[in-house]
Amino acid sequence: MKLRLFIAAVAALLATGCADKSMTLEERLATIQADTLFRIEADTMFSEAWEIRLWQPVDHRNPDGPRFSQQVFLYFAGPDRPVIVETEGYGARGGRNELASLMKANLIRIEHRYFEESRPDSAGWEYLTTWQAATDHHRIIELFKPVFSGRWATTGISKGGQTVMFHRYYYPDDVDVSVPYVAPLNFGPEDERMKPFLESVGTDECRERVFRFQKMALEKFDQLFPLFLKYAEEREWTFNRIGGPETAYEMTVLEYEFAFWQWGSVPCDSIPMDGSDEKIFRHLASLGDPRYFADQGLEYFEPFFYQAMTEIGYYGYDFDRFEGLLKHARNLEQPEFQFSAPQGPEYVYDYEFGQKVAEFIREEAGHFIFLYGEYDPWSATAADPGDNENCLKVVKEGGAHSTRIRNLPDESREEVISLLEEWLETPASR
């Protein structure tokens, strides 16, 4: 349904606050500059849900220039309930949000620009910046604020958590609370803090077992590579961009270490050190995710890697540990993952940006709760509030990238929930 801005009477009532109890949500939404509005199925914790397309300037410095349609999902709990804004780092889909469930709050889920349905038709990559994305979120929050009277919070997971930090860096007063989950704050396209972390994470025995498995997978290239090819062919994956399936196989082996610690889903003693080739390959593929290096996977992640190579950073691999075993993958002078970014732009990384955000978090940020897992490699580049008493950082012992409020130890979980209740001025659902 097309929405029009001429519903002035409704807008006036909202402005005065006179119609809060009598107006329907659809009447409230009629005041927002939306392109389209569709009712969708609501989760049981919400009374209704909507898919909304909002027109956004491709370049917020030129608001009258080209526009794109940004996808937003709204899950409605009540006009006076808190509002949780989930700033996705990628595409936006349905599903529950922990913070909204915990606080019995409204949920606004925003797809990141240049992903899925929110990609400009012909705009250059130069408009995919942290400031442009933060301004998308700022504008959406401003549009929705007349609809709700409760307090506001932003949240996101991983890259979505990065997006939370960047939005608050540019617009610190947009919301009352921010809860980034397992969000790195990198200082380079191959952040140097990652290597010493991987050299000390977990136990000596487990790190050695991970290394021995990677070494074995490279030594058994002739036996395992045909299984890799079959696996890829069954899924119709191609590897032109990375330089061929042989390179993709070796990169999958290199990725295994990071993925093992990131997800923490496999007990160390279950890493197979012998057995059939099929068994070894299945284990490798279950963690290394070969699709990450396929053309089909790179197409989706291309906007992410553009950002990684310009502002938000990433990690690299330690090639020296596998000297003599790598025949195809190689460490070049440029960042290893630059091949994943759009080809054509000349990449110049902004090394000052991450440091500025870090300084903001240490000295100015207010009402932040940072959650990390101890074994998650992204905790190597975690945000550090230092002595900022207006922020809380919780690191779950032995935790991974799946660290959430619900799986924190009792004492830490209660501390987080109590702060949320105080800052959002509403009781939580324990």
Q: Given CATH 2.170.16.10, say whether it is the number of domain 8-187+353-424.
A: no
SS3 for 157? strand
Name the residue type at position 179. Answer: V
Checking if the pLDDT of 17 tops 60, the result is no
**Tokens linked to 292:** 């990450």
**Tokens linked to 266:** 């496999």
| Cα radius of gyration (the chain) | 23
Query: Cα(296)–Cα(293) distance, rounded to whole angstroms?
Result: 8
The structural domains of the chain, with segments of one domain joined by +, span: 8-187+353-424, 194-340
**What is the tens place of the pLDDT at every residue in 173-229?**
999 999 999 999 999 999 999 999 999 999 999 999 999 999 999 999 999 999 999
Q: What is the mean pLDDT of residues 87-116?
A: 95
- Backbone φ and ψ for 428, nearest 5 degrees, come out as -90, 165
DSSP state of 338: G
Name the residue type at position 14. Answer: L
Query: Cα(427)–Cα(188) distance, rounded to whole angstroms?
Result: 40
Q: What is the mean pLDDT of residues 236-247?
A: 95
Query: Cα(122)–Cα(276) distance, rounded to whole angstroms?
Result: 49
**What is the tens place of the pLDDT at every residue in 132-143?**
999 999 999 999
The verdict on pTM exceeding 0.85 is yes
**Tokens linked to 26:** 């659809």
Name the residue type at position 91. Answer: G
